[in-house]
Chain A
């Protein structure tokens, strides 16, 4: 009973320790330079198409649905742009990209590290005298933190661009009306908070996945469990972090 109650704290402690070990070896990141760029390509560049696709559909649907909800002569059409653009920059751009990455990147990292753990490759690295955390965890976490803002920008540009296109060609509002509304309510704080969220989400996805993968146990079933838990926990922590950042910065 006590063990069950204490397990979340134990998990938090192990997670913090793992991150501490990872960032303690940041001075040796030059040693794993090549590994870092491999992870940046896998986490960032390879995720651009799926993030762009998700953002495009989100922007399009959001514009159409906002236009449907505001279909009254008392509200100017420019308000659609005033709602869609800030919402994508403030919330949807980062959160949609975060969910996509939690599934795509988080699951992959957890599966990779979990397999390495159950096949004792991590132990082998340790035996060879390599810092397994610095070699395996740090490049992945840094890749997430560095590349997620890039994906956030892609998500915002594609989402707003698709919103303008669908609004214009779908006959809901012209591109100039959309932009007029977007500019009317534009605040530099919106993309700034979105960018802060993207750093936080990148860190959460990769670090949770690394933690789950690094501490996998129990063979192939354990790898499956770790993969599932990494994706689910990443999504949950993204939502929690989203709320905390909103409460702190808005």
Chain B
């Protein structure tokens, strides 16, 4: 089938246009078939941002920068962003320039507002986040800091003036306190002067006592050594005795426990009341028998075999 030149040219142009449009959208990282809507953003500093840079929300690509220009009147950077249809940005969101231009990673990062907020309408403007850099915050707070520094200096000045006045006034408490301190120092000096001899003698005595002690230690070093060794031996023995005592105490404890619990003969002797009852009954019977024996000894003696032998 022979195609006419018109058809060939038409098909080539259509294919080229479609390829160009889809290619550009593909490289812009925009959906090939989805639509986009525009959102504006304002910044103080673009940091190398150019048209085509990605727009990310929570780290996900949601569009690209359409155009960027400097507003001469307000000296702010105005960017037009193309956001994918279906991505809603809540009201109260902010946009900031992120990344470094040195390695080409500049992008716009959208900081979404509260989720319950309604979505931004097309052509709405995103502002920069309220907090700037440390330097910006410092710049913002500079007047306040200057005022504070001023007030601190003023109060320091007032304090110094009051101090000076106190020092100059002879009736002031500060002057009196200083005078008292001066007196105390003078008294201390006079006392020291008066007792100088005493103090010297005291120090001399202390020194001679120390020397005597030293001499004594030098002369009786061996005896002291022997005494200390013996004391050590005695302490050792005492230790061993204490250990043996502890052992005995533990054994006694065991015996006492057994007695309490009624284990063994002694335990039963202490804990079993039947023996006592039997002994009591035996004592009572013996008593009865002795009484009977006293009353009539012959009754028992006649029955004794020994007596019968003789």
Contact = CB atoms under 8 A, between A and B. Distances in A.
Nearest to A78: B104
B271 interface: no
A213 interface: no
A93 to B, nearest CB: 11
Interface string A183-196: 11111110100010
Given A153-B16, A186-B28, A188-B51, A38 B5 contact: yes
A34 B4 CA distance: 10
Interface stretch (B7-15, B111-119, B298-306): B7-15
Interface in A167-191: 182-189, 191
A41 B20 contact: no
Interface in B8-39: 8-9, 12-13, 16-17, 19-20, 23-24, 27-29
Given A41-B8, A182-B27, 7 more contacts: A34-B5, A38-B5, A40-B9, A45-B8, A45-B9, A45-B12, A191-B24
A206 interface: no
B29 A183 contact: yes
Contacts of B54: 183-184
Residue of A40, A160, A183 most packed against chain B (CB within 10 A): A183
B88 interface: no
A231 to B, nearest CB: 24
A183 B28 contact: yes
Contacts of A157: 19, 23
A48 B16 CA distance: 11
A37 B28 contact: no
Contacts of B52: 185-188
Contact of A191 (B5, B17, B20, B104): B20
B50 interface: yes
Contacts of A34: 5
Interface of B: 4-6, 8-9, 12-13, 16-17, 19-20, 23-24, 27-29, 50-54, 103-105
Contact of B19 (A79, A153, A188): A153
- Identify the 9 closest CB pairs spanning chains A and B, nearest first: A37-B5, A150-B16, A153-B16, A186-B27, A187-B52, A40-B9, A186-B52, A41-B5, A183-B29
A85 interface: yes
B5 A40 contact: yes
B20 A82 contact: no
Contacts of B50: 187
Interface of A: 34, 37-38, 40-41, 44-45, 48, 76, 79, 82, 85, 146-147, 149-150, 153-154, 156-157, 160, 182-189, 191, 195
B9 A183 contact: no
Identify whether the interface residues of B are mostly helix, strand, loop, or mixed.
helix
Contacts of A154: 16, 19
A153 B9 contact: no
17 contacts: A34-B5, A37-B4, A37-B6, A45-B12, A82-B104, A156-B23, A157-B23, A160-B23, A182-B27, A183-B27, A183-B29, A184-B104, A185-B104, A187-B50, A187-B52, A189-B51, A191-B24
Contacts of A156: 23
Contacts of B53: 184
A153 B20 CA distance: 6
A225 B81 CA distance: 55
Contacts of B28: 183, 186, 188
Contacts of B23: 153, 156-157, 160, 191
A157 B53 CA distance: 21
Nearest to A192: B24
A188 B24 contact: yes
Contacts of B27: 85, 182-183, 186
A68 B250 CA distance: 90
A150 B9 CA distance: 10
Contacts of A37: 4-6, 9
Nearest to B22: A157
A157 B27 CA distance: 11
A184 B16 contact: no
A182 B16 CA distance: 20
A94 B170 CA distance: 98
Given A82-B104, A183-B28, A41 B16 contact: no
A61 B54 CA distance: 29
